[in-house]
Amino acid sequence: MKISFLIHTVYGIGGTIRTTLNLAEELVNRHEVEIVSVFRHRDIPLFTIDPRISVVPLVDTRPNSPTNEKEHPFQLQPAAFFPQSEARYKEYSRLTDDRVRAHYAASDADIVVGTRPGLVAYVAQFAPDGAVRIGQEHMTHNHHKSALRAEMYEHLAAIDAFVTVSEGDAAVWREKMPLPSTRVLSIPNSVPEPQIAPSDGTGKVVVAAGRLASEKQYNVLINAFAKVTEVRPDWVLRIYGGGDRRPGLRDQILKMGLYNKVHLMGPHSPIEPEWAKGAIAVSTSRHESFGMTLVEAMRCGLPMISTDCDYGPREIIKDGVDGLLVPVGDVKAVVDALLKLIDDEDLRRRLGTAARESARRFDPAQVVKEYENLFEELVAATSQRSPVPDFAPVGDCVVRSDGELAITLVGPRPAADDAGLQLLCVRTEGSTEVRTFPFGQDGVATIPAGEQLGEGLWELFAESAATGGRARLGSRNVDQRGAMHAADRLVPGGPVRNLVPYVDKARGTLVLRSWVRPVHAEAGHVRLVGKKIALSGSLLGPATVVGDPVLVLRRRGKGHELTFTGQWDGENGFHFAVPCAAPAAQQITAHDVWDVFVRYASNAQPVKVGRMLDDVVMKKDIYNYPLTILPKRRKGSLVRALAKNVLRRPKQRVRVRFLYTASNDLALNVVDL
């Protein structure tokens, strides 16, 4: 078989690069293997690559290269096929779209593997017809933002298998994003046997390694080691790796007086000789999708102390057998575990020996067997797969006066019988929810007025049950007039709902915005009256009113609240007058944000004030309210102000106004001018 790995770059250093090379180097013993590196930013890869592996760079970004393409006209245009919510989206472009598509259009690969979310999307769209398409997840489901999961849904549904590095994460994906046509499973990363002798456990060195990033929580490890050195001053801590937290960690080490005990060693490759110098290895991560460094240390004969974080460590370490697991963020637990191993040499050696033995299950030969079995099963299944025709559905959407939505397909339809064509509504928040509605013979799918679609964004797809073809639903016309009557359709005592279709301008696709609130405070008019802001609105839903309404301003971040008593107006109306000076006097940052709530009874939780009962999807761009300018409250005495020549400066001012957030909830801003 010919196996092609698509990777961001193979020329750097990192866990994804290392594990891809480990896998490729074992596979090349029996298969043809290529690594397609989207970018080439240096002449020679930092890792040594087996010469039998073909390396295919697509875009040259080497600074001093005569073929540097950073200023290529297409490199300056945004990517159309790479997910916009992907962390590396800005690095991708029309040029990367074209190069990846062109490479695989001429490829005879049997297996194509994408190694990060955006590249899995490329594999789903550009892999050769008939090739097995596999996505790898080197992070976790919970690591990704909901916006990226929403973009990735269609691509994950189009590939043959999605492979995570821990069973815990695979279970989360299966639960929270069901993918009926995609096999979701876990195969661990592989770590080869070190080419050096294992640690003899005699060096009084504790070793940690990995990116100097916030999720690794090296500050916790340094705090713990400070307490260890108080009783065992002859031990030192070495931390290997590079990253943006290096300056902060260096400052922490200096402030704590640990500069003779804790050393930031920088990146090292290969890392095995450094592990072997130690007697104990430690990881204090907040989360680990797998934990390459854990296995590396264990293969070098070190007992491992690790936080019991999601998901990898608890699948790698058997607590008390080949290492120790401690709670995340617990400094005392790390101290106790370190002292336990420091003070008991026999235990240290016993756990180290067991660690070396148990880590053999991550040998590339063992891991590759799992991949080869998967490849063979998928190749057999793919040979039976009918080719999926190109399908670019476009629809018109109408909100009828009763709230029913009608989506009508326009233009060509897939060759399959229309009876097998259905509308998919997909919401990807914490979990992925899918609702289906059939297209009739007339090409119309109807979402009933009473359909309960949870609050959030729903992406729309057309799917052919006959071929499995699925594509986002493009939009031609959207008639939102029926959404303007949402208030008239409310059921007394029932929840407050509205469903508004709109066009995602970036993609030209149809999207639904759903609002669902058990009790809701619908904002009405906002008026500036002198130095006060008058706010009116209506309380909707099954709420039992007790006493006067209370407006609650809750500052983000610090949790401070301001309250203002208002009046009820008629059956469910309310109005308040908010003095602008009150939140201005409490200003603590250059841009304070106060969320706005109404409390309708002393024993009731306050409900957010917002607008959702009209046809406007994004209120913040439409509703602009007047603002108040106030002098900024000065801090400190006049004497200190004179000493700092503050009185010579122009008078500082602040702006106070109401506005809408991205969720269409009302907020109040206090901003320096």
**What pLDDT score was predicted for residue 492?**
83
Pick the residue with more confidence: 558 or 281? Answer: 281
Domains of the chain, by residue range, sit at 2-186, 205-359, 394-517, 520-672
pLDDT at 68: 96
Average pLDDT over residues 499-516: 92
560 closest CA partner among 568, 570, 548, 552:
552
Highest mean pLDDT among 25-34, 444-453, 624-633: 25-34
Is the pLDDT at 420 greater than 50? The verdict is: yes
486: helix, strand or coil = helix
Q: Is the pLDDT assigned to residue 285 strictly greater than 60? A: yes
Tens-place pLDDT, residues 114-136: 999 999 999 999 999 999 999 99
Instruction: Report helix, strand or coil for 173.
Output: helix
Q: Kindly indicate the confidence band of residue 640, based on its pLDDT and cuts at 50, 70 and 90.
A: very low
Hey, what are 438's tokens?
């059939």
Mean pLDDT of the chain: 92
pLDDT reported for residue 53: 98
| Closest by CA position to 185, among listed 166, 203, 204, 200 | 166
Q: Name which of 337-346, 384-393, 499-508 the model is least confident about.
A: 384-393
pLDDT tens digits, residue range 588-609?
889 999 999 999 999 999 999 9
Three-state secondary structure call for residue 552: strand
The rounded distance, in Å, linking the Cα atoms of 596 and 608 is 6
Give the per-residue pLDDT at 389: 56
pLDDT at 642: 41
Which among 412, 433, 425, 405 has a CA at the least distance from the CA of 472? 425
Q: Which two tokens stand for residue 381?
A: 């299944």
Backbone dihedral angles phi then psi of residue 368, each to the nearest 5 degrees: -65, -30
Selection from 98, 163, 156, 125 nearest residue 388 by Cα: 125
Alpha-carbon span 74 to 93, nearest angstrom:
7
> If DSSP codes are grouped into helix, strand and coil, which group holds residue 480?
coil
Find all residues with CB under 8 Å of 537, minimum gap 6, and list them. Answer: 521, 522, 523, 524, 573, 574, 575, 598, 609
3-state secondary structure 215-241: HHCHHHHHHHHHHHHHHCCCCEEEEEC
pLDDT above 80 (res 383): no
Phi, psi (deg, nearest 5) at residue 608: -70, 145
The CATH architecture to which 205-359 belongs is 3-Layer(aba) Sandwich (3.40)
Q: How far apart are CA 48 and CA 42, in angstroms?
A: 14
Give the residues across from 497 on adjacent strands: 516
Given a cut of 80, whether residue 637 has pLDDT beyond it is no
Q: Residue 378 is which amino acid?
A: L
- State whether the Cα torsion 18-19-25-26 is positive or negative: positive
pLDDT of residue 641: 43
Residue 258 confidence (pLDDT) above 60: yes
Mean pLDDT of 4-29: 94
**Angle (CA) 309 312 316, round 5°:** 115
Joined together, the tokens standing for residue 638 give 């006049």
261 Cα distance to chain centroid: 36
| pLDDT of 525 above 80 | yes
Task: Report which secondary-structure segment, H or E, holds 462.
Answer: strand 456-464
pLDDT at 634: 57
Architecture of domain 394-517 in this structure: Sandwich (2.60)
Residue 648 has pLDDT above 60, yes or no: no
Same fold, 205-359 and 394-517: no
Domain 2-186: homologous superfamily in CATH: Glycogen Phosphorylase B; (3.40.50.2000)
pLDDT tens digit sequence for 289-332 = 999 999 999 999 999 999 999 999 999 999 999 999 999 999 99
- Indicate whether 488 pLDDT > 50: yes
**Strands of 244-338, DSSP E:** 262-266, 280-283, 304-307, 323-326
Residue 33 · residue 128 · CB < 8 Å: no
Looking at the predicted structure, is the pLDDT value of residue 649 above 70? Answer: no
Q: pLDDT by residue (tens digit) across 185-221?
A: 999 999 999 999 999 998 899 999 999 999 999 999 9
Q: Kind of pairing, strands 550-555 and 532-540?
A: unpaired
